[in-house]
Amino acid sequence: MAELYEELGLTADEYRDILRVLGREPNKVELGMYSLMWSEHCSYKSSKMVLSQLPTRASYVLQGPGENAGVIDIGGGLAVVFKMESHNHPSAVEPYQGAATGIGGIVRDIFTMGARPIACLDPLRFGDPSKARTRYLLSGVVAGIAGYGNCLGIPTVGGDIYFEPCYDENPLVNVMCIGIMPKERLTRGVASGVGNAVVLIGNRTGRDGIGGASILASQEFDEKSQEKRPSVQVGDPFTEKLLIEACLELLDKGLLVGLQDLGAAGLSCACSETAARGGVGMKVWLERVPLREEMEPFEIMISESQERMLAVVEPRHLEEVLEVCRRWGLNAVVVGEVTEGDLLEVFWYGEKVAEVPASTLATGPVYDRPAERPAYLDEVWAVDLESLDHPSDYGRVLLDLAGSPNLCDRRWVYEQYDHMVQLNTVVYPGSDAAVLRIKGTSKALAVSCDGNSRYVYLDPYLGTQIAVAEAARNVVAAGGVPMALTNCLNFGSPERPDIFWQFKEAVRGLAEAARFLELPVVSGNVSFYNESFGAAVYPTPVVGMVGLIGNLAHRRTMGFPGEGLLVVLLGETLPELGGSEYLKVVHGLVAGRPPALDLDREKRTQTTCIEAIRRGIVRSAHDCSEGGLAVALLECCCAGGMGASLRVDTEIAPHAWLFSESQSRFVVTLAAEDLEAMQELAGSREVPVVVLGRTGGDRLVVNDWIDLEIASMKEAREGALERLLSGETA
C-alpha cells in the first residue's frame, strides 16, 4: 500500500492517520476512497481554518456553507439557491468537456437542494489572446458551456472574461448557478431513517473521471498534464435534463428523504457525506451499480461519471420513485440501505470490500499552512507611476481601451449561450448585472460576478474587498439590493507560503467586506494548485452576488435613456491609476496599488443610488470600474445609442480623471428638475454629486479632451473579440 498511497496523492502523514482511524491497514478500495475524500478538492484541508472567519448568517439565510448550495429566503414563500464552483483543470486538459461537465456539476448542486435552476453565470480567465492555445481554450470552453447549458434549457445570463498571460496554461473556468423554489421544497443531502433505501439514479458508471478530484484538481500542471486526459469526465446534458425533471417531480411529490449529487469522488463522497450529515451508517452493494464497462469495486467507488444522483427513500415510496424515474427513461437502482451506527460498508457479490467510519471520510485532515508575504509586492508597488508619459490623444486611448481584450464587447461569447430560455431574462448579458424576473410576482433577481485578479495580485486583501464591493455595486446599478454572495477562490499551491499568504489575505478581505456590507457568504468553492511549470496564476477570488429588485419597475440599465438628461457622477474621482487597464494597455504595466476602498463610503454610495432609483430620480445607472469614467461613459453612450456633452472642471490631470479606476462611483442620468432631490439624498449621506453635462447627439464630448462619434466607439468595441480570436490583431 505504501507506494499506492503516494500515487493516489496522499502524504505519509495522511496515510498514518488512516492507519490510526482504522486501526489497521486499509485495503485498496478503502485507500482509494480516503485518497479522494482527503484530497484538497474534497476536504478543504488547507482552506478550512481560514474560511471559518467568513460571515455566513443573516435572518434570511436558510442554508449556509456545508450543503450542496446556499439558500436565501426572498419572501413570498420563495427561496433562492446558488453556488459557484471551478472546473479549471479539466478545462485546461479538455476545454469542451471540462467546461461542459463544470456546468453539469453546478446545476446538480442546485436542483439537489430542490430548486429549479433558472440561470448560469460563467466567470472565465484566459491567457494572452494572441496565442493559439488561448484561442483553442476559449472557443472550446465557450462551446462546452453552450453545448451543455443550452441543452438543459438553463439560460446563461452573465459572467465575465479577463485575459492575462498568467492564465496561458491554466485557464480558470468558474461556473455559478442560481435556482428558485418554494421554501418548503428545501431538501438536504442527508441520509436518515434506518432501513431506508439508497437509490442511484441516472447514468451508468464508467471509467471516466477516475481520480479527477485527487489527480487532476489537487496537483499543479507539468509536461505530463496531457496524460491526465482520461481523468476528465464526459458530459451528457440530455440525461442531466431528465434528471432535473425527474428529481424535481420526486421532491414535489414528497417522495425523498434526502438527495445528493455525485460529483468529485463519486459514490465515495455521496455515500459518506449523506451518512455523516445524518449521523447514520450505510451499506452499499456495488454489484448493483449499472456499469458501462467491466470495472473493479475500487473504480466503481471513485468513478466520477456524470449525471448521477443518490436518493434516500422510505421503503413505502420506493415503487413510486422507481416508476417516476422509469417514465423519464432513467436508470434507478437500489444500491444500498441506511444502517445504524456510522459505518460505511461496501459489498461486492457478498464479500465486504470496505468498512470505514463514514464521518472519517467526510471530515479529512485540517492543515494550518505557513504563510509568508511574497517579495514581488515590494517591486510592483515601487514602480514610479508619476513619471510615466501622459498621452496626447485621449480619444485614441479611449478607443484602444474600449477595444482591448479585457474591455471589449462580449457578444461573440454570450450569443453562443441561450440567454433567454425560461422567459425570465429581462436585462440581457452585457449590462452591469443580469436581471431575472420572478414570474407571478413583481420581483426580480439581479445577479453579477466579479473578480479583477490584477488588483488581487497587487494587493490580495484590498483586491478581494473590491471584488465584493464591485459585485454589489453592479447589482445596485441594476436596481437591486444585494442580499448574499457565493465565491470561488482560485489560487496556486497552498503548500507554498507565498501563495498561502495571498489566500489568507484574500479571505480576510472577503470576510471584512462581506461583514461590513452585511452580505452573508452562503456557499463557495476553493480551487488550489492553479499552477503550471512552477508559476501560479494571479490569485483570483471571484464573487457571485445575488440581489433582489423588489419592484420590476425599479430595474435599470446603463444605456443613456434619452436626450437632455443630466449626466451625473455619484462618488469621487481620485488620481488612482495603479492596477488599471490604462496602465496595462497604454504602458504594458501591471503595477502600483489598486484604488483605495472605503467600505463605509461604498455602502453610503450604494444606498444613495438604490434610494434614488426607487424614488424614480435615477433613470439609468452604471458602475464605474475597469477603464475608469471614460470607458463607463462610452459604454453608456453605446448601450443607449445616445451621445453626451460633458464639461469637467478638475484639478486632476486629464488622463487620470478619464482613466482612474477609483471605487465607489456610479454614472447616472436624471432629469434636471430632479437634481435638487438627488443632491439632498446624496448630501445626507455625504456622497458627492458631480454634474458632468447632458445627454444628446451622436457623439461623446468631454472638454477638449475627447470628441468621438458613437459609431466609431461601437466599432472599436464590437467585433474586437472576434478580431482578436481570429488572430487579426496582436
Partner 1 sequence: MKFGVVVFPGSNCEADCYYVVDKVLREDVDYVWHRETDVSSYDCLILPGGFSYGDYLRCGAIARFSPVMEAVADFASRGGLVIGICNGFQILLEAGLLPGAMLRNTCLRFICRFVHLRVENADTPWTNRASLGQVLRIPIAHNEGNYVVDPETYRRLEEEGRIILRYCDPEGEVTQEANPNGAMGNIAGICNEGFNVFGLMPHPERASEEILGSTDGLVIWESVMAYNREKG
Catalytic residues, by residue number, are: 41, 87
Pick the piece of the chain touching partner 1 (CB under 8 A) from 36-44, 125-133, 230-238, 353-361.
230-238
Beta-sheet strands, E only, within 253-358? 258-261, 281-285, 308-313, 332-339, 343-348, 351-357
| Among 339, 351, 335, CA closest to 282 | 339
Phi-psi category of residue 116: left, alpha or beta, with phi > 0 → left and psi -120 to 50 → alpha: beta
- 599 three-state secondary structure: helix
Q: Which three cell numbers stand for residue 135?
A: 484561442
> Least separation, in Å, of the C-beta of 425 and partner 1?
8
The enclosing H or E element of 695 equals: strand 689-695
Q: Which is nearer to partner 1, 151 or 574 (CB)?
A: 151
Q: Which is nearer to partner 1, 326 or 396 (CB)?
A: 326
Site for partner 1 in 179-218 (CB under 8 A): none
Q: What angle do CA 161, 163, 168 make, to 5 degrees?
A: 120
CA 144/CA 149 separation, integer angstroms: 8
Chosen residue from 4, 334, 388, 421 binding partner 1 by CB under 8 A: 421
Give, as one character, the DSSP assignment of residue 553.
Answer: G
CA 112/CA 99 separation, integer angstroms: 20
Pick the piece of the chain touching partner 1 (CB under 8 A) from 333-341, 375-383, 416-424, 591-599.
416-424
> Least separation, in Å, of the C-beta of 293 and partner 1?
19
> Least separation, in Å, of the C-beta of 553 and partner 1?
10
Q: Which is nearer to partner 1, 422 or 703 (CB)?
A: 422
Q: Which is nearer to partner 1, 443 or 454 (CB)?
A: 443
Chain centroid to Cα 523, Å, comes to 10
Q: Which is nearer to partner 1, 60 or 428 (CB)?
A: 428
| Among 147, 163, 45, CA closest to 98 | 147
Pick the piece of the chain touching partner 1 (CB under 8 A) from 236-244, 447-455, 596-604, 652-660.
236-244
Q: Mask: binding to partner 1, 135-154, rule CB under 8 A, as x and -?
A: --------x--xx--xxxx-
Using CB under 8 A as the binding rule, whether residue 422 contacts partner 1 is answered as yes
Q: Which residues pair with 434 in a beta bridge?
A: 447
Chosen residue from 182, 184, 238, 372 binding partner 1 by CB under 8 A: 238
> Least separation, in Å, of the C-beta of 147 and partner 1?
8
Chosen residue from 16, 229, 253, 439 binding partner 1 by CB under 8 A: 439
Q: Which is nearer to partner 1, 441 or 645 (CB)?
A: 441
Chosen residue from 221, 367, 417, 500 binding partner 1 by CB under 8 A: 417
> Least separation, in Å, of the C-beta of 245 and partner 1?
9
Q: Mask: binding to partner 1, 538-557, rule CB under 8 A, as x and -?
A: --------------x-----
Please count the residues of the chain. 730
Answer yes or no: are the C-beta atoms of 68 and 83 closer than 8 Å: yes
Site for partner 1 in 621-640 (CB under 8 A): none
Residues 6+ away with beta carbon under 8 Å from 173: 86, 87, 88, 91, 98, 99, 102, 122, 124, 141
Q: How far does the chain reach from its first CA to its final CA, in angstroms? A: 52
Phi-psi category of residue 660: left, alpha or beta, with phi > 0 → left and psi -120 to 50 → alpha: beta
> Least separation, in Å, of the C-beta of 679 and partner 1?
32
Chosen residue from 125, 228, 317, 437 binding partner 1 by CB under 8 A: 437
- 178 three-state secondary structure: strand
> Least separation, in Å, of the C-beta of 151 and partner 1?
4
Site for partner 1 in 151-170 (CB under 8 A): 151-153
Site for partner 1 in 32-91 (CB under 8 A): none
Kindly write down the DSSP assignment for every residue of 592-658, as one continuous string.
SPPPP--HHHHHHHHHHHHHHHHTT--SEEEE--TTHHHHHHHHHHHHHT--EEE----SS-HHHHH
Chain centroid to Cα 563, Å, comes to 37
> Least separation, in Å, of the C-beta of 183 and partner 1?
21
Q: Which is nearer to partner 1, 396 or 439 (CB)?
A: 439
Q: Which is nearer to partner 1, 218 or 239 (CB)?
A: 239
Cell numbers 466609431 correspond to what residue? 712
| Among 405, 544, 493, 415, CA closest to 146 | 415
The enclosing H or E element of 543 equals: strand 540-549
Q: Which is nearer to partner 1, 257 or 435 (CB)?
A: 435
> Least separation, in Å, of the C-beta of 146 and partner 1?
5
Using CB under 8 A as the binding rule, whether residue 423 contacts partner 1 is answered as yes
CA 499/CA 582 separation, integer angstroms: 27
Using CB under 8 A as the binding rule, whether residue 420 contacts partner 1 is answered as yes
Q: Which is nearer to partner 1, 329 or 564 (CB)?
A: 329
CA 347/CA 353 separation, integer angstroms: 5
Answer yes or no: are the C-beta atoms of 179 and 251 closer than 8 Å: no
Using CB under 8 A as the binding rule, whether residue 237 contacts partner 1 is answered as yes
> Least separation, in Å, of the C-beta of 157 and partner 1?
11
Answer yes or no: are the C-beta atoms of 414 and 156 closer than 8 Å: yes
How many binding residues for partner 1 (CB under 8 A)?
31
Chosen residue from 222, 252, 351, 415 binding partner 1 by CB under 8 A: 415
Answer yes or no: are the C-beta atoms of 615 and 677 closer than 8 Å: yes
Residues near partner 1 (CB under 8 A) are: 143, 146-147, 150-153, 236-239, 241-242, 328-329, 414-423, 425-426, 428, 437, 439, 552
